[in-house]
Amino acid sequence: MSIIARFGSETLESEYKLRTLKRSTVAIASVVLVELVLGLTVNSLAIVSDGLHALLDALTTFMLLIATRVSVKPPDEEHMYGHEKFESIGGFVGGIALIGIASLIIYEAILKIMSNQTVNLGIGYVGFIAIGYTFCIDLFRVGTFLRARKSESTTMKTGFYHAVADLSSTVIAFLGFGLATLGFYFGDSFASMVLGVLLSYLSVKLVWSSGLELTDTVSKEVAEKVRKEILGTKEVCNFGNLKLRKAGDKTFVRVTLQVPDYMGFEEAHNLASKVEIKIKNILGNAEVAIHTEPRATHMSTAKLVEKLTTEVEGVKDAHEVNIAYTEGKLYITLHAYVDPKLSIERAHEIAEKIEERIRQKLRNVEDIAVHIEPFSKTERKGTAVDENEVRTIIHRVADNYQHAFRVKRIVTYVAGKKRYINIDCSFTKQISIEDAHRIASQIEEQIREHFVEATVTVHTEPS
């Protein structure tokens, strides 16, 4: 999904939340007025309790509306992760308030039972009018918040729970008031106590879930799903520093992916994008930040290929290993030294064994080009060679040209797993530039025969 499309989707979702909460606030406010007035008229604690619950719900919904208005604001310098946490704050405060009102309802019910109070049966129809009106409003609110079942928004879930609690309490109030009008006077108070217990359960559940979100707690199931998607992505070697946090209906994900060392920047970026899409598919509204780094191993892929090559029987040495990765495929070229007396048929068999061995150890290998060449008896050394040995070999080669120049300075170093050898030579003034260049080239070539993949540069200057 493009950034513009995602932004548009989030904007529509925010507008839906605000519109839903506005409608719910107006609807539940009308219930407060109807139930409190008519409940007091018929002296029904069940109806009054339901009205008090509606009053609390109206206040809570209003707080959720304010919290949602704040939460949809874009990130700023003081809230770089956005304002979605205000939704959790609204749910937490609303849940605590519900616990308080539930306790009050239970307390009032006990007092009414102890004082043996009854409802006003002379105008009992007024109570049924109040309950009928409330029942219609509750159905309207449940339908409005029904989308919350599919949403991760704490605000929408809070509103949905409140609407369901209101509908349940209205049914209980109807049963309790109905029993009271039939002569079972305890029914009204008993219904109030049941209502209080129900509200307490829902409120504690709401406070708990909101509190977990405010403390950045993420369920193990969600974290395991994310891990499974990451490791199930082809070319991801491993991952680390996985961090998840929720804010409203958005989940923030940070993770470091370990990728093969032969993977280029563009391929690593494409792989990270693929993982990001997979995570968003399972989490929905998510903001994913992925860092890629080469897989931590004791041996690079190029050195591994070189090692696998030299382990094949008949291979004397290997060098010039080049690895290219493009479009999910691995391309390898290498040079292998063999006995110069081998037949071309035997050399071809060795090349096939090299290819087979590499394919057994590496994945996604599209092509392997093995260049077989005769092994020179001159010992070729790698980067891990003693500096004194380098200088000894250089002076040994230079001795063959002492009539033309002398070695003035030798600088040798290793960078990027490659050895560099720089030699300053003082040539006699009488020698021509053509002869000096020819001699310098010969020196470079002879020194390279002793060192694998070394870059040798001879600088000529007059003595």
Task: With cut-offs at 50, 70 and 90, classify the pLDDT of residue 6.
Answer: very low
Residue 66, Ramachandran bin (φ over 0: left; ψ between -120 and 50: alpha; else beta) = alpha
Q: Is the pLDDT confidence value at 4 over 50?
A: no
Whether the full predicted model's pTM is greater than 0.75, yes or no, is: no
CB 323 within 8 A of CB 331: yes
Separation CA 207–CA 204 (nearest Å): 5
pLDDT digits (tens, 9 = 90+) for 266-277: 888 888 888 889
Inform me whether the pLDDT recorded for 407 exceeds 80: yes
The pLDDT tens digits of the residues spanning 141-178 come to 777 776 645 555 556 666 677 677 777 777 777 776 67
Same domain, 226 and 109: no
- Domain annotation covers residue 382: no
Domain boundary among 247, 279, 294: 294
Query: Under 8 Å CB-to-CB from 316, ≥6 apart: which residues?
Result: 337, 338, 339, 375
36 plus 129 within the same structural domain: yes
Q: Which domain holds residue 322?
A: 301-374
Q: Find the helix or strand (DSSP H, E) in which 370 lies.
A: strand 365-374
Q: What is the DSSP letter of 376?
A: P
Q: Are residues 180 and 51 in the same domain?
A: yes
Report for 11-25, 180-194, 208-222, 438-452: range of highest mean pLDDT: 438-452
CATH number of the domain encompassing residue 426: 3.30.70.1350
Give the confidence band of 248 by pLDDT, cuts at 50, 70, 90: low
- Asked whether residue 379 is domain-assigned, the answer is no
Regarding whether 224 and 83 lie in a shared domain, the answer is: no
Q: Which residues of 319-350 are buried (b: 16+ CB within 10 A; e: fewer)?
A: bebebebeeeebebebbbbbeeebeeeebeeb
Q: How many domains does the chain have?
A: 4
Q: What is the pLDDT of residues 354-405, one digit of tens each?
A: 999 988 888 778 888 888 888 765 555 555 667 788 888 888 888 888 888 8
For residue 6, count other CB atoms closer than 10 A to its CB.
Answer: 13
- Amino acid 434: pLDDT: 84
The rounded percent of the chain whose pLDDT value lies above 70 is 72
Mean pLDDT of the chain: 76
Q: How large is the angle between the packed helices 45-71 and 124-144, nearest 10 degrees?
A: 20
What number of residues does the chain have?
A: 463
Segment 90-133, tens digit of pLDDT? 777 777 877 877 787 777 777 766 656 555 454 555 667 777 88
Q: Are 266 and 399 in a shared domain?
A: no
Q: Which residues pair with 420 in a beta bridge?
A: 413, 455
